[in-house]
Structure 1
Amino acid sequence: MEASRMLLSSPLSTCNAVRRKHFSESLRRHGCRSPPPLKIVSMAKEGSDAGSNGGGSIIEKAAIGGGLVSTPVIAWSLYTLKTTGCGLPPGPGGSIGALEGVSYLVVVGIVGWSLYTKAKTGSGLPNGPFGLLGAVEGLSFLALLGIVVVFGLQYLDKGFIPGPLPADQCFG
């Protein structure tokens, strides 16, 4: 867990007396009063470059790379599914079908990570280097919406959703 630093700004108390119930009348007579509440002036994670665009963990960079490849593959897959009723062809050695399957897993993983982060921190994923992680997060949610819509339409039109392996219905 990363530690955070907070720079707090507050004027010094006007009175250093011990404050207890029986001293309250004495404090009021001498003009002592409580200091105003503290204000947070800045917050920065320790060891991070707050303004840098080149930072980001290995997981963030892997999510960016995976998301930038996966969302176009899913768009291609959904287009093919809607027009032909089947997913992408297996390709040489099953490579295209494998890429399609891994792409769906990557998008679901990014959406899950985003929802987990939202539940823990109250905000989604950080922007990441050059804002790419935030962009991948948004594209992943759009891809998930497309998946739900096209799979729903496929089920209504054809009565089935193709499985993850080639079957007689599509590539048998």
Structure 2
Amino acid sequence: MQASRMLLLSPAPSSITRMGHFSSPPSLAFRKPRAKIRAMAKEDSEAGGGGVVEKAAIAGGLISTPVIAWSLFTLKTTGCGLPPGPGGSIGALEGVSYLAVLGIVGWSVYTKTKTGSGLPNGPFGLLGAVEGLSYLAVVAIVVVFGLQYVEQGYIPGPLPADQCFG
């Protein structure tokens, strides 16, 4: 009888909480996100300032966003896109720039849905800057194309038209 009283009066073992509920060790579900974050950080640090895809996105974004700004300014002031240029090189650069910016925004949206955050900052924060500039470019595209449609009744196609470069 004495032993049972001692057991009841002794402090609660660590597996019983104050409310009398048994606590359990943290489940594996709580450990997985931490492991995933560590793996992502390790992968980023091993890349040494960004992988090839990140560097290509940075270079493409830093070239594409000014080209799109030039294209949108030309569209707003003349009603036409950039001229084709020698051998169609300027027009090709314009088209590839639109595709590059849409690709960066698509990559960013995909990454956001998978990880909960946007693209990593990349070396010197350039990938984060390119991501932000790409979103701004998409907003500018929507605004200028909308104004073009309202004012002119059309949006120029991807190929040079006679009305602009005839």
TM-score range, shorter chain: 0.7 to 0.9
1:140 to 130, 134, 137: 134
Structure 1 runs not aligned, ≥5 long: 1-25
What displacement does 1:30 show? 6.2
Instruction: State the 4+ residue runs in structure 1 displaced beyond 6 angstroms.
Output: 35-42
Report sequence identity in percent: 72
Matched pairs, number: 145
Structure 2 runs not aligned, ≥5 long: 1-6, 16-22
Distance change in 2, residues 1:28/1:97 (3 Å)? farther
1:49 to 2:42 alignment: no
Alpha-carbon distance between aligned partners in 2 of 1:142 and 1:28, rounded to the nearest angstrom:
68
Query: Cα deviations across residues 96-150 of structure 1 (Å, max 9, x unaligned)?
Result: 0000000000000000000011111111101011100000000000000000000
Distance change in 2, residues 1:30/1:116 (3 Å)? same
1:33 to 2:25 alignment: no
Query: Cα deviations across residues 55-101 of structure 1 (Å, max 9, x unaligned)?
Result: 11100000000000000000000000000000000000000000000
2:111 to 85, 95, 117: 117
Alpha-carbon distance between aligned partners in 1 of 2:109 and 2:131, rounded to the nearest angstrom:
10
Amino acid in structure 2 at the alignment position of 1:58: V
1:162 to 153, 156, 160: 156
Greater Cα offset, 160-169 or 38-47? 38-47
Query: Quick check: which one's helix share is greater?
Result: 2
Alpha-carbon distance between aligned partners in 2 of 1:147 and 1:133, rounded to the nearest angstrom:
21
Distance change in 2, residues 1:47/1:147 (3 Å)? closer
Distance change in 2, residues 1:84/1:48 (3 Å)? closer
Distance change in 2, residues 1:79/1:28 (3 Å)? farther
Alpha-carbon distance between aligned partners in 2 of 1:61 and 1:88, rounded to the nearest angstrom:
27
Alpha-carbon distance between aligned partners in 1 of 2:79 and 2:90, rounded to the nearest angstrom:
17
| TM-score of the superposed pair, with normalisation by structure 1 | 0.75
Cα RMSD (Å): 2.8
Alpha-carbon distance between aligned partners in 1 of 2:117 and 2:13, rounded to the nearest angstrom:
42
Alpha-carbon distance between aligned partners in 1 of 2:107 and 2:59, rounded to the nearest angstrom:
15
